[in-house]
Amino acid sequence: DQQVKQNSPSLSVQEGRISILNCDYTNSMFDYFLWYKKYPAEGPTFLISISSIKDKNEDGRFTVFLNKSAKHLSLHIVPSQPGDSAVYFCAASPNYGGATNKLIFGTGTLLAVQP
Amino acid sequence: DAGVTQSPTHLIKTRGQQVTLRCSPKSGHDTVSWYQQALGQGPQFIFQYYEEEERQRGNFPDRFSGHQFPNYSSELNVNALLLGDSALYLCASSKNVLNTGELFFGEGSRLTVL
């Protein structure tokens, strides 16, 4: 049972345009959401997060939107750059903070930014 | 400042054998989690160690076991290897008190079971 779903395995975008990566979840107990980026032969690196008390969080070119009623979140990258080409994982946690939280990851979306 | 380091980076085993993977957390971190990433999938939580104890466990059989040492480093052991255990094994660390799920991952140990 996939609790966190990324239905688009890949996305191709032109440099300078907006990239929108989507994620859906099924467990209403999730209250903290994160995006990780992964380059080949490297471990995932944290990108941006949002707690369920917010509907938007912005960090430079990256913005995450959360729609709790739809159990949907999205990551917007504006403007997209070739260096953004990577696999992006959406992840969810059932509690904010604490020593025992674990992350539930989606299957990832491969973003390719064309020069 | 060293990040999360894992060893070995690659290894090949045969079915039925046992394997031990090692992880040193990022400096200042005291909590270590292990994840399994199969090809084409996202990382799946195996277990988490804090204060040398297993604090939480994912849906993995008892063949998967671990340990955390007083210096916060950790080992993942897998017994009676199956072909399906072939995957990238990721170690992630965090500072317990400030942990908000923003884990720091190592590059992983890629295990191939033949």
Mean pLDDT (whole number) for A14-41: 94
pLDDT given at position B2: 75
Contact assessment for residue B7 and residue B91, using Cβ atoms and an 8 Å cutoff: no
Contact assessment for residue A18 and residue A10, using Cβ atoms and an 8 Å cutoff: no
| CB atoms B58 and A102 under 8 Å | yes
| CB atoms A45 and B42 under 8 Å | no
- Name the average pLDDT for chain A: 92
Per residue in B48-78, pLDDT (tens digit) is 998 999 988 999 999 999 999 999 999 999 9
The set of residues, in sequence order, having a beta carbon less than 8 Å from that of B107 and lying 6+ positions away, is A41, A42, A43, B6, B9
Instruction: Please name the member of B31, B90, B106 whose beta carbon is closest to the beta carbon of A99.
Output: B31
* Closest chain B C-alpha to A104 CA, distance in angstroms: 7
| CB atoms B105 and A101 under 8 Å | no
Confidence of residue B100 (pLDDT cuts 50, 70, 90): low
Give one word for A98, left, alpha or beta, with left for phi > 0 and alpha for psi -120 to 50: left
3-state secondary structure of A83: helix
| CB atoms B100 and A104 under 8 Å | no
| CB atoms B100 and A42 under 8 Å | no
Phi, psi (5° rounding) for residue A80? -75, 145
Name the B residues in 94-113 with CB < 8 Å from any A CB. 96, 99-108
Mean pLDDT (whole number) for B7-26: 97
Q: Which of B103, B104, B107, B109 to probe the A interface (max A CBs under 10 A)? A: B103
Smallest CA–CA distance from B38 into chain A, residue: A107
Residue A41 pLDDT exceeds 80:
yes
Confidence of residue A61 (pLDDT cuts 50, 70, 90): very high
Residues of A in contact with B42 (CB under 8 A): 4, 6, 89, 91, 105-108
pLDDT given at position A99: 46
Nearest Cα to A66, choosing from A55, A76, A77? A55
Rounded distance between C-alpha atoms, residue B76 and residue B20, angstroms: 6
Name the token pair of A56.
Answer: 């938007």
Q: CA A66 → CA A53, A99, B106, distances in Å?
A: 9, 24, 28
Q: Which of A24-38, A69-83, B27-41, B48-62 has the highest mean pLDDT?
A: A69-83
Position of tokens 């466990």?
B57
3-state secondary structure of B98: helix
pLDDT given at position B96: 72
In single-letter form, the type of residue at position B20 comes to: T
In single-letter form, the type of residue at position B39 comes to: L
Contact assessment for residue A99 and residue B50, using Cβ atoms and an 8 Å cutoff: yes
Phi, psi (5° rounding) for residue B63? -60, -20
Q: Would an 8 Å CB–CB cutoff place B18 in contact with chain A?
A: no
Confidence of residue B110 (pLDDT cuts 50, 70, 90): very high
Rounded distance between C-alpha atoms, residue A58 and residue A46, angstroms: 14
Residue A100 pLDDT exceeds 70:
no
